[in-house]
Amino acid sequence: MKARRLSPLLAAKLGLLLLLVTTVAARAANPALDAKAIGDAAGVKANVEADGTVKINWSRDDVAVKVDGMPFPPAAGLGSWAAFTRMSGDTAMVMGDTVVFQDEVDAAMDAAFSHGLEVTALHNHFFYDEPRVFFMHVGGEGDAVALAKDVKAVWDAIKAVRRTHPAPVEGFPGGTPKMGTLDAKRLSTTLGKPLTDNQGVLKMTVARQGRMHGSAIGGAMGLTTWAAFAGSEALASMDGDFIMTADEMQPVMHALRGAGIHIVALHNHMAGGEPQFFFLHFWGKGVADDLAKGLRSALDAQAKAGH
**Burial (0-12, 13-18, 19+ Cβ within 10 Å), 169:** middle
Give Cβ neighbours of residue 95 (< 8 Å, ≥ 6 apart). 82, 83, 137, 138, 139
Residue 3 in domain = no
Question: What CATH code is carried by the domain that includes residue 104?
Answer: 3.30.70
Residue 258 in domain = yes
**Phi, psi of 60, rounded to the nearest 5 degrees:** -85, 75
Whether residues 92 and 155 fall in one domain: yes
Angle, helices 35-42 vs 144-164, to 10°: value is: 30
Whether residues 151 and 189 fall in one domain: no
- pLDDT for the residue 89: 86
- pLDDT for the residue 12: 60
User: Per this entry, what is the length of the chain?
Assistant: 307
Whether residues 213 and 96 fall in one domain: no
Cα–Cα distance measured from residue 197 to residue 184, given in angstroms and rounded to the nearest whole number: 7
**Phi, psi of 54, rounded to the nearest 5 degrees:** -100, 130
Whether residues 215 and 155 fall in one domain: no
Provide the terminal-to-terminal Cα distance of the chain, rounded to the nearest Å: 64
Residue 9 in domain = no
Residue 238: CA atoms inside 13 Å, Cβ hemisphere, count?
32
Cα–Cα distance measured from residue 118 to residue 286, given in angstroms and rounded to the nearest whole number: 27
The CA–CA distances, whole Å, from 285 to 90, 169, 178, 230, 306 equal 44, 17, 11, 9, 28
Walking along the chain (307 residues) 10 residues at a time, the average pLDDT comes out as: 57 59 48 94 96 96 97 97 94 97 98 98 98 98 97 98 96 93 95 95 96 93 96 97 97 98 96 93 97 97 86
Whether residues 193 and 279 fall in one domain: yes
Domain boundary among 164, 193, 223: 164
DSSP string, 9-32: HHHHHHHHHHHHHHHHHHHHHSPP
Domain with 117 in it: 35-164
Residue 233 in domain = yes
**Strand-pair partners of 215:** 212
- pTM to 2 decimal places: 0.87
- pLDDT for the residue 203: 98
Domain boundary among 164, 197, 217: 164
Whether residues 147 and 206 fall in one domain: no
Whether residues 158 and 49 fall in one domain: yes
Residue 169 in domain = no
Radius of gyration over every alpha carbon of the chain, rounded to an integer in angstroms: 24
DSSP string, 180-205: ----HHHHHHHHTS--EEETTEEEEE
Q: For the chain, what is the domain count? A: 2
Residue 134: CA atoms inside 13 Å, Cβ hemisphere, count?
21
Among the listed residues 227, 238, 226, the one whose alpha carbon sits nearest the alpha carbon of residue 286: 238
Whether residues 158 and 40 fall in one domain: yes
Among the listed residues 193, 151, 178, 169, the one whose alpha carbon sits nearest the alpha carbon of residue 42: 151
Residue 16 in domain = no
Whether residues 144 and 188 fall in one domain: no
- pLDDT for the residue 187: 96
- pLDDT for the residue 272: 87
Whether residues 40 and 155 fall in one domain: yes
Residue 171 in domain = no
Domain boundary among 105, 131, 164: 164
Strands 79-88 and 54-59: antiparallel
Q: Yes or no: say if 266 and 118 are a contact pair by the CB < 8 Å rule.
A: no
Residue 27 in domain = no
Whether residues 190 and 289 fall in one domain: yes
Whether residues 215 and 301 fall in one domain: yes
